[in-house]
Amino acid sequence: MDALLELLKSNARLSNEELGVMTGMTGKEVADKIAAYEKAGIIKGYTAVINDELADKNAVTAFIEVNVTPKADFGFDDIARTIMRFDEVDSVTLMSGSFDLAVTLSGSDYKEIALFVARRLSTLEGVVATKTHFVLKRFKESGLFMEDESADERGMVSP
């Protein structure tokens, strides 16, 4: 991955001028390169990393293992496209190993996620089995430590 993409991945709030200084380009060259990346679909969007535990103590995230029967001529793509259209779904990834699709979703509470799995996901044609894992605590997200600022280098909170 080129240096500009690495910098944007770590901090998308840097200005074009700051990125230019860091990459040896002008601000205009950075802007043009970013526009080209966006047009080509290399950059799909920009997002903030949110500490959900601080923003909404009731929010719940789940990782769901999904086993499916792939369709002839479509493989896993057809069912993945169906699943990714649900508003609750944050991501869908084709996996190797003991399950086919990894689905990440967020909800306001455990019951909301359980009902989504029971009523919407598991009832889809082609879905053979699901296994839901609830996130209990995030320690690191997108390369950022999620723990309290008063934690020392071992992650222990100072008195």
- Phi and psi, residue 104, nearest 5°: -110, 135
- Domains of the chain with CATH codes: 3-40 (no CATH), 57-137 (3.30.70.920)
CB 117 within 8 A of CB 130: yes
| Short-list 66, 77, 52, CA closest to 121 | 66
- pLDDT for the residue 49: 86
pLDDT at 47: 87
- Spell out where 12-155 has E strands: 60-68, 89-94, 101-107, 127-134, 140-141, 144-145
Structure confidence at residue 66 (pLDDT): 98
Backbone angles phi, psi at 25, to 5 degrees: -115, 170
**3 state SS of 85:** coil
Tell me the pLDDT of the chain (159 aa) as tens digits: 899 999 999 899 999 999 999 999 999 999 999 999 999 999 999 988 888 888 888 899 999 999 999 988 888 999 999 999 999 999 999 999 999 999 999 999 999 999 999 999 999 999 999 999 999 999 998 888 988 655 555 555 555
